[in-house]
A and B are shown apart, each in its own frame.
Chain A
Amino acid sequence: MNPPTTVRDIRDRVRRGALSATECCQDTFERLDAVDASLHAFNTVTREQAFARAAEIDRHLDRWRDRPLVGVPIALKDNLCTKGIRTTASSRILDTYLPPYDATAVAKLEAAGAVVIGKTNCDEFAMGSSTENSAFGPVANPWAVDRTPGGSSGGSAAAVAAGITPLALGSDTGGSIRQPAAMCGVVGLKPTYGRVSRYGLIAFGSSLDQIGPLARTVHDAALTLGVIAGADASDETSAPEPVADYAAALTGEVGDIRIGVPWKMIEQGVDAEVARAFEASLGVLAERGATLVDVDLPHARFATAVYYLVATAEASSNLARYDGVRYGFRAPVEGGRDDEGHDLLRTMYAQTRARGFGPEVKRRIMLGTYVLSAGYYEAYYLKAQQVRTLILRDYDRAFERSDVVAMPTSPTPAFRLGERVADPLQMYLADVFTVSANLAGLPAISVPCGFTQAELPVGLQLTGRRFDEATLLRTADAYERITGWWMRVPHV
């Protein structure tokens, strides 16, 4: 079987004139039409716009040829605003929302020559670890359609894994790029907080959210990061640090890399096959010349608890804007005052939100409202922010002894659809190894590191220093070159 098509392949063939953007578009939609009925990776398909754009590129190839992503089809998570294209965040409350502007990351990809082919399914407002919280139904994992693709960027991961597009954007608040990447056998990168503008990303946890690529190879993720990174006047938290040539940093060398392994943190609760694949991946890197060192992240075991206090608090404020006034669904109300004497406006708010939001979003709004309420703020929200400081300091200390920190991305391979829906706490624990990078604002990547006996992919997670995506990507790329796991594709 041929290795899967990469961003680089397509870009180079379009540049050479061996493939037109229109032909590439045709192949993409042919594949989408063949598999998406069984995957449900897409909420919206932008066929007409994509062919119009591809035709424009083909017509003016001289103008587009040198752009880094010329002719490359991409899928966008449906919480990224696209001008005039339905953007739902997989929520009923935004079912018909047509943004009046593009997210900065989307605008940059299009300026680089990429062709948007659709918006991918995800957990509602990116809240979930399985894509089962989508108001439009779950996504199936291309490796086993009775299993989840992970979440919340499950549609983006499934689209890349199934070979619909070689590239997708996701967002990661607590692991929502890396965990589905691991479960679908693709590469997923969460950049440093501030590396990519969040303008036009529908907000969930504003101090944690980051946009990043899902791709077949580390090279393609590096290339994409170079396109979407950089300061943006529309996002005050976007960082002024210079953007490196990430693709050029991929030398294949890891002889100078010290890999920190927080053994204490991962000795319990990790599936045996995941643990085996993880340990084997460390062996591969050590054999190639990297040095393995023990590091301790003593507060990382509190990261999931801290995360669900901080993220829900931020979510409860961010989602206050969905009240049926300026955009989205509004519940119809009639009459004067209701039985309890509330005015109609408040009744409209409460009913709009009751009917517009799904159960997980309501649960998180409730939790966040509670931890921010008078009398509980200090005990929960403030306390969580203090422990967040300690988690940050743990990483600072670990990076005195190491250049990247390695962990499994997820403690288990993809679980079955429906298996954890009734137990939100069990679902939250799927994020145990991913949330601390968001709390500390660090870049982290998941790269395929093997398969279970049941042919389910396993991911290796590497976390780096702030704004040192170059070292992170170089290590992941070297590992990928040696092992070649990325070349295995599902039979969907």
Chain B
Amino acid sequence: MFTREQVHAIAALAQLELDPHEIELFARQLGEILAYADEVQQVDTTSIPPTASVVTRYPSDRPDTVIPSLTPEQALANAPDPATRHGLFRVPRVLG
């Protein structure tokens, strides 16, 4: 079980606004899921290296040549508030 304050702190790190109902729900559910996941603590992992990726062979290096990519218009086409003429993504004001 997490406290409401803990859930609030995680939500802030995750850039998520939660309503009071979600905070109550996640406090309980995250606690239950982690209690289950805690079974990994039983495993002796002394001197066992972590596996972050199972890739063992990467394709060889390629020449650093320019290849076609998205045009600014294509890149901006899905933006909720594009500044198309300037080729920019517009966001709400950050500085006073």
Contacts and interface: CB of A to CB of B under 8 A. Distances in A.
B62 interface: yes
A351 B54 CA distance: 36
A248 interface: no
Given A385-B50, A386-B49, A441-B54, A336 B17 contact: no
Interface stretch (A151-159, A235-243, A274-282): A235-243
A241 to B, nearest CB: 8
12 contacts: A100-B70, A100-B77, A207-B53, A240-B57, A325-B91, A326-B75, A336-B96, A344-B94, A350-B17, A370-B30, A386-B48, A390-B48
A194 B55 contact: yes
Contact of A424 (B33, B43, B70, B74): B33
Interface range on chain B (Cβ under 8 Å from partner): 35 or more
B66 interface: no
A396 to B, nearest CB: 12
A369 interface: yes
A304 B38 CA distance: 11
Interface in A397-427: 424-425
Interface residues of A, number: 75
Contact of B40 (A239, A327, A345, A383): A383
Interface of B: 7, 10-11, 13-19, 22, 25-26, 29-30, 32-34, 36-41, 43, 45, 48-55, 57-60, 62, 70, 74-75, 77-81, 89, 91-94, 96
Nearest to A299: B43
A350 B8 CA distance: 12
A390 B50 CA distance: 9
A424 B34 CA distance: 12
Nearest to A369: B14
Interface in A278-328: 299, 302, 304-306, 308-309, 316, 320, 323-328
A89 B90 CA distance: 25
A330 B51 contact: no
B7 to A, nearest CB: 7
A380 B40 CA distance: 8
Q: Which 5 A/B pairs are nearest by Cβ-Cβ distance?
A: A441-B54, A385-B50, A327-B78, A330-B80, A344-B92
Contacts of A308: 33, 37
B54 A440 contact: yes
A207 B55 CA distance: 9
